[in-house]
Structure 1
Amino acid sequence: MLAVGDDRQHGGNDGYDDDPAKHYSWDSTVPNHARLSVGDVIALWDKKQLIGVSVIQAIDTGSAEKRTYFCPRCRKADFKRRLRQKPTCRCNQCEALFDAPGEKIRTVTTYRSRHGKAWIDGRGLLSGPELRALCDSPDSQLSMRSARWEKLRDALLATGQEAAVKALIGGPRSPIPGGHITQEVRVRVGQAEFRKTLLEEQGEQCAFTGPTPAAALEAAHLYSFAESGEHHDHGGLLLRRDIHRLFDLGHIAVDPATRTLDVADAVDGYPLYGQLHGKPLSLSLRPEHEVWLTAHWRTHRSER
């Protein structure tokens, strides 16, 4: 991820307000804008050297009006602003010279990574050319470029600066043993029939997030099946597998007063789940559902 501060030639836009050790900003006009996820390793550089490495702990999203600029002749955004020459702009595509670029305003999705907690300063470890060589496309001029973590890790290990590298990536890991073992497990009797019944009643949709392929849906009991061992009529909802797990842990619940989703602080920082907070369910609840969901709420929100 390119972060070069006030000296950067932005050309087609007004730039971004970055603080490399804490956050990095971009928007939906940037190539590869949607490829980053929470948990990804990121390396920030300033064209000359590595600035630092971190892990994304959250990505904040929003919406904004963005002013963009373009060459008035070919209408491309690929031009350079010249500091000491007139006209002040030169197009890299059609080579036109001009003082005032064309401009337009568009609505964009904004993104900001939060990565301050895991930040490790990397200045002096790798040069710009060394970092370019690690990218999947070394000749790319994009500000956000994909690379393999294994390549970055090996390059850092080869620097000979053992203390800095260990702080960055930790010590060597022992191989994880593989193979298989045979174990006895308890199987829920009637679970397949319970799920089939819910699919017939509720269709292929997650009760919390909406239409979902059947392969990704699980039959979620609204009570502890482990304790009762019974499949109660109207005692379950179809939930996406990840949502089912978070529901069982109490990270997602249904507020009985508003019949809307309540997302706990533990997962609210993840956009995928935080956006669900306050949203209504995707299906109408039966009275039996409401009874079980109220009991679930009292169990996991009793301290509120």
Structure 2
Amino acid sequence: MNSGNVAVNDLIALWDGEFLLGVSVIEDIETGTGEKDIPFCPSCKKADVAARKTMTPVYKCWNTDCKAEFDEPGWKHKHVKTFRSRHEAGWIDARGTLTAPELRALCVKPASQNSLRELRADDFHHALTHSGTPLPLRILDTTQDVIAGGHSKVTARARKGQVAFRKAQLSLFGEMCAFTGPAPAQALEAAHLYSYAANSTHHKYGGLLLRRDLHRLFDLGLIAVNPTTKVLDVSADLAAFPEYTKLHGQSVTVQLTTSHIKWLTVHWDMHRTTPQPTIPAQTTNPQPATT
């Protein structure tokens, strides 16, 4: 079992047994208890047993000292420790980029039957970047930096007062995504313009309403607001996604106060201090919002 070796801020790759589904970064791990029926080998009594799809006998023991084959294993009912990870913030859809055989070949132990298998990180990264499908992998690095900097506490701590904070943003802006315009309230989240984990305070003028996907990209710095021109700056890591690249150079859709500008300047300095390639502007003369 590799569950004990997995930690917050580790990279994670999910597959469905046939293809890679996506990659992300572990934000949190919840532990609990449960019950499970576990098969074991009738010969050596070890639990290194797996069912085969096409061969008979159906089951094989993978214990190197046994290798028995059989149609029906023994079963043990056990109380087990459970692990549940959260990894949505840095999620990158990579559906179909790598097949199951390709993924297995990238494991430290390719023949392992464990549900959690360690990948050779450098080889896995190389396989993704040479798959022919452009993926914004910098999201993973940015997410790890954010979690390492303390933002992993946001989800747990932001619940207190979050409802009132969102209500205040709706009262201030109406049903308006600050990046794309009118949107139903159900699709809008109250985004902090600062690290709530470090600040622990909900400032009325320290937030904007954003669609959930844009909220995540803003938190990761893949979309930022130039505090001088009040236009959107989209990272080149999103170049493969026209829905986001078309936002580059567009003005925010809401009026910003001096407090908003202050917080946006902090966000800009955090994510744009080091020059990075961005998407060419879609508009030649964007009109900045009025403060």
Q: Fold match, TM over 0.5?
A: no
TM superposition score normalised by structure 2: 0.42
TM-score by length of 1: 0.41
Specify the structure having the higher radius of gyration (Cα).
1
